[in-house]
């Protein structure tokens, strides 16, 4: 069991496979000429498996693969299939571009749920956000997942003045499709030019949805980060991840392993612990893991204010989102 000083048991590990991505979304990776981590500094497949196995031996029940874009890594299939043999629920977050070619691997590894990052349903706006013209390819790949009975959750970061006008469109999508839309409050990270006036809050999102639909709350599972809702007559559902206005830190069970093998005990932590170097030096990484999680702050990495309007994004000490892994 891995626990922090506040009694929170951590049994969910998010592993970033790479900081590389085939998109250039401004709120995640602002610059086209971003310097990716050299391959030699990334965890290699056997190292990912070794570290993951250590976490599983300590009670981790769920592993989520993230990036960057995890499926652009050349040895992604090897890693996914190896992790699929662990006694753990394996899931993945992806931008959806490589789903068609990787689908047999996902199925063989036992992945039954996929999160797709998709911030707009408008092809022109999609190109503006991602700087890539692959909107229809992603929509096709989402349908492919649904055809194979793989659960799909759509991660939509809501940004005022950019895509908040599409909230109803995303809800309409759930009418005849078994997808869950996850509206995410825009969060501050290094280089993403976050300001409080770009953020669309939990209350604002609900107000938009309730203007058009009857909304019923759904009881959340333990440790859920999302507040879930249903609309009578809709095949799908929606949820809101309210990190900024209604944090869920008191029940947090998440740990993050960056692509270069650093453990972060919180998305917003200003520190990290190097597990990969210790592993390569044949040192026992378990004391490092336990010490990192024990030192976890009570909420929001000890850096963010719950009054988000007063947050100075430039003063936050953290990585960019793409180098954390979400």
What pairing do the DSSP bridges indicate for beta strands 227-230 and 216-218? antiparallel
The average confidence (pLDDT) of the chain is 90
pLDDT band at residue 303 under the 50/70/90 scheme:
low
pLDDT of residue 36 exceeding 90: no
Cβ atoms of residues 15 and 65 within 8 Å: yes
Alpha-helix residue ranges (DSSP H) falling in 39-152: 45-57, 76-83, 99-108, 123-130, 135-147
pLDDT of residue 194 exceeding 90: no
Q: What is the pLDDT of residue 166?
A: 98
Q: Mean pLDDT across the stretch 241-255?
A: 86
Interatomic CA distance for residues 75 and 45, integer angstroms: 7
Alpha-helix residue ranges (DSSP H) falling in the chain: 45-57, 76-83, 99-108, 123-130, 135-147, 167-173, 202-212, 275-280, 286-294, 321-324
Q: Mean pLDDT across the stretch 208-224?
A: 94
CA distance between the termini of the chain? 23
pLDDT of residue 123 exceeding 80: yes
Q: Could you give the C-alpha distances from 191 to 20, 25, 187, in angstroms and in order?
A: 16, 12, 12
Q: State the CB neighbour count (10 A cutoff) for residue 299.
A: 17
Interatomic CA distance for residues 231 and 248, integer angstroms: 23
Task: Kindly report whether the global pTM for this prediction surpasses the value 0.75.
Answer: yes
pLDDT of residue 306 exceeding 60: no
Residue with tokens 């626990």: 3
CA torsion sign for 258, 186, 72, 58 is positive
Closest CA to 44 of 280, 320, 273: 280
pLDDT tens-digit profile of 59-92?
999 999 998 899 999 999 999 999 999 999 999 9
pLDDT tens-digit profile of 231-244?
999 999 999 998 77
């Amino acid at each position: 069991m891995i626990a922090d000083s506040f009694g929170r048991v951590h049994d969910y590990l998010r592993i970033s496979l790479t900081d590389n991505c085939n998109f250039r979304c401004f709120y995640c990776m602002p610059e086209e000429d971003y310097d990716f981590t050299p391959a030699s500094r990334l965890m290699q497949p056997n190292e990912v498996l070794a570290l993951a196995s250590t976490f599983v031996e300590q009670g981790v029940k769920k592993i989520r693969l993230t990036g960057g874009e995890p499926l652009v890594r050349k040895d992604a299939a090897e890693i996914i299939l190896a992790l699929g043999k662990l006694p753990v629920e394996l899931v993945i977050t992806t931008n959806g571009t490589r789903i068609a070619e990787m689908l047999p691997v996902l199925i063989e590894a036992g992945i039954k749920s996929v999160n797709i990052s998709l911030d707009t349903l408008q092809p022109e706006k999609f190109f503006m956000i991602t700087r890539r013209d692959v909107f229809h390819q992603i929509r096709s790949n989402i349908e492919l997942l649904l055809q194979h009975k793989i659960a799909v959750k759509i991660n939509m970061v809501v940004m005022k003045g950019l895509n908040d006008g599409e909230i109803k469109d995303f809800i309409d999508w759930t009418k005849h499709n078994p997808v869950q839309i996850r509206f995410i409050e825009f969060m501050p990270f290094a280089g993403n030019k976050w300001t409080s006036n770009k953020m669309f809050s939990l209350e604002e999102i609900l107000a938009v949805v309730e203007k058009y639909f009857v909304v019923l709350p759904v009881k959340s599972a333990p440790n859920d980060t999302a507040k879930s809702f249903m609309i009578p007559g809709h095949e799908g559902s929606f949820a809101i991840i309210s990190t900024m206005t209604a944090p869920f830190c008191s029940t947090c069970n998440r740990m993050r392993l960056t692509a270069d093998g650093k453990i972060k005990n919180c998305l917003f932590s200003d520190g990290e612990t190097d597990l990969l170097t210790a592993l390569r030096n044949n040192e026992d990484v378990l004391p490092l893991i336990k010490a990192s999680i024990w030192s976890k702050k009570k909420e929001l990495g000890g850096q963010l204010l719950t009054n988000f309007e007063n947050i100075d994004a430039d003063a936050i000490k953290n990585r960019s989102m793409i180098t954390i892994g979400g």
